[in-house]
Amino acid sequence: MPDDLTLTVHERPGQLPRRGIVRLHPEVMAALDLNNGDPVQLAGRRTTAAVVGRAEAGASRAALYADDLTIGNLQLRDGDEVTVTPVPVVAARRVTLAGPVEITAVVTNEMLRLALLGKMVTAGDDVSLLPQDVPGYQALVEGARRSLANRVGYLWTSQLLQVVSVEDQEGALVTMDTVVGWQGQNSAPVRPQQPSVAAAQVPASTDPALPPPSLDDLPGLRTQAQELTELLDLGFNHHEVLSRLGTTVSLGVLVTGPAGSGKSALIRAVAAGVGAQVHAVWGPELAALTNDAAATRLRNVARDLKATARGVLLISDVEALAPRDEPGPLATVFRQVLTDLVGSGAAVVCTTSRPESVDPSLRAPDLLAVQLAVPLPDAAMRREQLRVLTRGMPLAEDVRLDDVAGRTPGFVAADLGALAREAGVHAALRQKEAESPTVAMADFEAALDVVRPTSMAESTLEVAQVTLDDVGDMAEVKEVLTESVLWPLTYPDTFARLGVQPPRGVLLYGPPGCGKTYLVKAIAGTGKANVLSVKGAELLSKWVGDSERAVRELFRRAREAAPTLVFLDEVDALAPTRGQATDGGTTDRVVAALLTELDGVESLRNVVVIGATNRPDLIDPALLRPGRLERLVFVPPPDAEARAAILRASAKSVPLDEAVDLDALGSDLEGFSAADCAALVREAALAAMRESLDATTVTAGHVATARKRVRASLDPVQVAWLEAYASTHAPG
């Protein structure tokens, strides 16, 4: 049986990309006496280590399949030779890593260890934060994934760290006994997997002594920083004033805001400004322990906080400790500890990106009496954040941060950090040999194609790179949308100066496939607002109360993200006429919740709602009155001129033969919707491919073939009915 084999390395991410796993043919594994999960040493231009797994059926016996990260650690290229040697399992005693300050400032040692758990590490390697699925620790690892996404944002899936050192043994396995920490820090191991009382006596972990961020690096949070600074300064430094006034101050604070918006960074910056020490607790970490171990850890951290002259207890992701639904024994203990700390004058700041999931009793006057909201940044705030994030970058003259800010609705600070980093990486790949490389606007364009906002991932509309100027024809429709949607979001001060309320909402109706959703994407492409998109049926649930809660949550997020555009697609499924449903009253309650949110006691500022439907007659009439979806806009089927414009837009990247007359073709497509016209161009290109995969042009013959395959989808009866409806519901 050979001691090692020399194979050819091939880049293939496989099932677990960038998680330190390489794959071999089963016969090769048998020849090396390897099983799934065994460690191997890999030797290329440098030596590293990895965990081996079986390759899929049909894999080559002469190949080692690895991801780009492992190949980079070997300093090889795809197709180079690598020597594979089985090695014994050796647990790493201590691993030290280095990374950018935006990662080291928010990722605790415990989160870092869970991200590396089950991986082989070698000094000098690059490693990712993507954790493996280690049997027996699934709950902890899943909690780590959620918290990394919340704290770091989109950056966590692509960020690389450097292994500075591995104590005693190179190529060692990270286990729950491994001490993992950042370079320049001393850290003690925490053993959350051990439910014994002895393990519970380990002192509660605190954040490492990292340099706190400056408030100048947190644009857009100055108002929240001032409020928190004044509160902590009063509680720490002015007891005598409070005593003379015969009152006290409660230092319990709940900070809410989207994941990655800078909540923890805000607290650390403010604490440094008032000379306070931060004791950090990660909620999901405690929630993963047994109740006894978690309770002991909580009491230990409370004891340590009381022993600190000026201490701030930072509890991140507090919903894990005090959930709104089904709170357990740990929630009771947590509330008791919190009551004791706040009652004794200690400062406790909890953060959450899901305030609706937090136990409402925590907001009692004797607990978290003060609530601060970190908003989703608007275009001006994103511009300032980009300026801070790129001040160390050599930007080319063509970089327009205003344009980048306008094209990033829904992005939080962590997302913008990922965007700047991706642009820098793209610039580096483009200018490997340049002496003075710069980051150009093209690099930001490429980064925008990769990085997506995480804060509204569940209901964010995919923002197309089009505006209303790119929409051909439909001049009247565009004019109404500009006045009803863009003006309230762009010029709220003008409406206030004139003493009128801007339109609250618009209903787009028309035949299927005529561009209603495309119009909304064009409005979103202007970048004037954050965009939330929900299909009507997505908010409906069979469980009593869930649908109404989903509506409330949608509009709560819209208020926090203002200025916001809320798009309700297929709104007839969400708000049918009340009293006619057979679902036990679910839709009736949803309609009532929607009406209340649109025009209720709580004001809906800087939020515009657009509904879309092809059945306006099914919508509850109360939703269409002034103050709600008051502007009804008919999106008609395209005429001959509009069809020709749609064909030209769809064929912009298609090499059409000069003999193809799109104007004549548009005149011949009576009954075709905009979607039908786009499908015709696509089918013509496919016809050219069927004829020859080497085809370079799409001829008139291909268009004629496509014309036979693609049929008009518009129903004349439906179109006539909608036109009649529009004539009776036209404004004025």
Q: Are 647 and 681 in contact, with CB atoms under 8 Å apart?
A: yes
pLDDT tens digits for range 598-634:
876 556 677 888 888 888 888 888 888 887 888 888 8
- Arithmetic mean of pLDDT over the chain: 81
- Residue 729 confidence (pLDDT): 75
* Tens of pLDDT, residues 71-107: 888 988 888 899 999 998 888 889 999 988 778 877 8
- Which pLDDT score is estimated for 470? 62
Establish how many alpha carbons lie within 13 A of residue 557's alpha carbon, considering only the half-sphere containing its beta carbon: 24
The one-letter amino acid at 173: L
Lowest mean pLDDT, pick from 6-10, 409-413, 507-511: 409-413
Cβ atoms of 321 and 286 within 8 Å: the answer is yes
Q: How far apart are CA 299 and CA 289, in angstroms?
A: 14
Element (H, E) at 506: strand 505-509
Q: pLDDT tens, 534-552?
A: 876 667 766 767 778 788 8
- Are the CB atoms for 521 and 612 separated by under 8 Å? no
Residue 454: is its pLDDT beyond 70? no
Q: Which residue has the tokens 């009382």?
A: 197
d(CA 600, CA 21): 55
Dist. CA 45–CA 23, nearest whole Å: 20
pTM of the model: 0.58
Query: What's at 635, amino acid-wise?
Result: V
Phi and psi at 569, nearest 5°, equal -80, 145
Angstrom distance (rounded) from CA 670 to CA 642: 11
- pLDDT, tens only, 426-445: 888 888 778 888 999 999 98
Among 143-152, 254-263, 308-317, 367-376, the minimum mean pLDDT is found in 143-152
pLDDT digits (tens, 9 = 90+) for 175-209: 888 889 988 765 443 333 333 222 222 233 334 44
* Nearest one of 694, 636, 698, 712 to 662, comparing CA atoms: 698
Rounded Cα distance between 60 and 79, Å, is 13
648, 660, 707, 714 from 704: Cα distances, Å: 16, 10, 5, 20
Distance of CA 280 to the CA centre of its chain: 24
Q: Is 499 helix (H, G, I), strand (E, B) or coil?
A: coil
The number of beta carbons lying within 10 Å of the beta carbon of residue 512 is 13
pLDDT in tens, 634-668: 888 888 888 888 888 788 888 888 888 888 888 88
